[in-house]
Amino acid sequence: MKTAEEHWLYIISSKKKLIDFNFNEIWRYRDLLFLFVKRDIITLYKQTVLGPLWYLIQPLFTSLIFTLIFNNLADIPTGDSVPNFLFNLAGITAWNYFKECLVGTSDTFKKNENIFGKVYFPRVIMPMSVVVSNLLKFAIQLVVLAAFYIYFVGFAEPSFSISPQLNLLLFPLLVFLMALLGLGLGMIISSMTTKYRDITFLVQFGVQLLMYGSAVMYPMSYFKDKLPNYYWLIEWNPIAIIIESFRTMVFGEGNIEVNKLIYTVIISCIIFLVGLVIFNKTEKSFIDTI
């Protein structure tokens, strides 16, 4: 006679390991993952006048403002041969992907409480869909960056002598690390907001502050020269290291510090695992507290 566990194809249980990231189960629900990704992409700018053009407007205008304020007014240098606007556009493009992943996943439980309370599926699929759908926006903004890059190198007067480094091949690793950081921090914040609603208001404010401490609109070397006593604030900031490495790869100025990149890999993995543990623990009881 078959036991209950032998009779059913899948058994849903609240008992999970401390670190539970079931690839097989997520793969079984891949259609649902792609459905959520499609939903996020289609509904983001639905019923807006400019639609997907917002993908371009936000980074371009932000880079323009940064160039006027930080480079022209505050006279912050961006390197010998790197155009100020292109420097800022590269920083904003990388920062935006991390920010969208973090903010988009930070209210997972609150935003999806209705569907979570009605049907079972691996809850981690929901924040994963945010990270995947933001890749499209990131890809479009990279195309814009490439277009301005070609313009400044080939058509601007005077032209700029910049060229990518061979280590640009490591770019997928940087994207993966940004996704891992955004997803991990987002899952931690999402779990905490089920009990502490004040964190919801803190996220937007905190993300803006984090941007100023992540070397988005200035090179890390400039910060070190001006504020050496506070350099540690950004020196070991993983997202600052990723953005600086990205610009080094793209513009060919400076060198990537391998030890800091290894440190970023370790920190990103730790934050993701901590986020996964807290997320798995919260998903069992959040419906009673949210």
Average pLDDT, the chain: 86
**So what's the pLDDT on residue 147?**
93
Please calculate the CA angle 20-25-26 and round it to the nearest 5 degrees: 90
Question: How far apart (Å, rounded) are the C-alpha atoms in residues 13 and 51?
Answer: 42
Token pair of 232 as six digits? 């540690």
Residues 6+ apart with CB under 8 A from 135: 97, 175
- Which of the two residues, 9 and 148, has the higher pLDDT score? 148
Q: pLDDT (tens digit, 9 = 90+) per residue, 107-134?
A: 888 888 788 878 888 888 999 999 999 9
- Which of the given ranges, 87-91, 153-157, 255-259, has the highest pLDDT on average? 87-91
Q: pLDDT (tens digit, 9 = 90+) per residue, 43-66?
A: 776 767 677 788 888 899 999 999
Assess whether pLDDT exceeds 70 at residue 99. yes
Question: How far apart (Å, rounded) are the C-alpha atoms in residues 109 and 111?
Answer: 6
CB 59 within 8 A of CB 92: yes
Question: How far apart (Å, rounded) are the C-alpha atoms in residues 180 and 177?
Answer: 5
**So what's the pLDDT on residue 243?**
95
**So what's the pLDDT on residue 254?**
80
Q: pLDDT (tens digit, 9 = 90+) per residue, 198-226?
A: 788 888 889 989 999 999 999 999 999 99
**So what's the pLDDT on residue 130?**
92
Assess whether pLDDT exceeds 70 at residue 14. no
Q: What's the start-to-end Cα distance of the chain, in Å? A: 43
Q: pLDDT (tens digit, 9 = 90+) per residue, 142-194?
A: 999 999 999 988 887 777 778 887 888 899 999 999 999 999 999 999 988 88
User: By percentage, how much of the chain surpasses pLDDT 90?
Assistant: 46
Angle between helices 171-193 and 258-282 (to 10 degrees): 30
Q: pLDDT (tens digit, 9 = 90+) per residue, 265-280?
A: 999 999 999 999 998 8
Question: How far apart (Å, rounded) are the C-alpha atoms in residues 67 and 86?
Answer: 9
